[in-house]
Amino acid sequence: MEEEIMQQSKLNIQLVAITPNPIEMVFRGYRVCYSKYSYCDLPLKSEEEMLEFIKKNLLKGHTTPLEHVSVTFSIEGISRAAQQQLTRHRTGKYNVQSQRYVDGANFGYITPKIFTDLGLDAEFAAHMEFVGAQYQLFQEKIEQALNARYGENKAHKTIANENARAVLPMATDSKMIVTFDLHNLRNFLRQRKCRHAQDEIKAIAFEMQRLVKEHFPIIGAGISNCGSGCDCKQAALAKKKETKPKTKLIFDKAKFIDHQLKSGASLSVLLDFTWPDDAHGKEAVYYADNKTYKVTVSYGDSPVEFPVLKDWLLEVEVNA
């Protein structure tokens, strides 16, 4: 059996460094703000009492003392896609495995969870095997051509790597080290534990929290797992959409406009259209070419769906 060129990788995160005595460090940071004592002379409490004090202030929004504690992670088996999402958190510090100096023949790949869920992992693996073969093909051809033209040179290997990598997909795995302070790690967790985050970066966030929690138990205090209590904008919109009842109505054109004028609102029509005479007083769905057409009208805070004919206007704005 031939050895696979690109093999599937698994996520592996390790907490390799953390500021010593993180609970005490953060507690002292808070107490300096409110105490007459100097940093070294501050009286300490039990770990449980210090955590309770920190949590109370943290939940009030006073989180800057957390910046005095740093955590460093070693991450392997992360895709280039997730890596780009992670490095967008600009307050982190990053060192990333190079695709110029490291031979891509040693790279693996990450299978997105949805491919496995939908039974597409075998097809995805076959595609990655093909990509790996293409990478090696271009790599060899570039290096051979440069050696033939300019004579053998070790630099040609690097040139071959950095150009052949153009065929590598976002699923290609990588290695990196990441450093956050606890304040900015919490910001990362708040955004990436969200149910609207992609599976891989979400798994990274949960694993980082698990590792840090062993040393700083309240790292996730006040940060939801983005379920029904999530306060992110996407969840708020989704919740609003889920809970708002939908009303399907058809108004007579004249009656509709008259109603808006009496309520002090204005009707803005983007295109001319003819309102069917038989629409008055009916709650029916109209068809054209075997298709149902609808238009959503924003009326106050409640969108109303209008079934419409194909030649009706497809956008109407009601500005109260």
**160-196: b or e for each residue (b if 16 or more CB lie within 10 Å)?**
bbeebbebbeebbbbbbbbbbbbbbbbebbbbbbbee
Which burial class, exposed, middle or buried, applies to 264 when counting CB atoms under 10 A from its CB (0-12, 13-18, 19+)?
exposed
- The answer for residues whose C-beta is within 8 angstroms of residue 94's C-beta and 6 or more apart is 86, 87, 176, 177, 178, 179
Catalytic residue of the set 28, 165, 186, 192: 192
8 A C-beta contact, residue 273 and residue 318: no
Establish whether 88 is a catalytic residue.
no
- Map tokens 């780009």 to a residue: 84
Q: State the catalytic residues.
A: 192
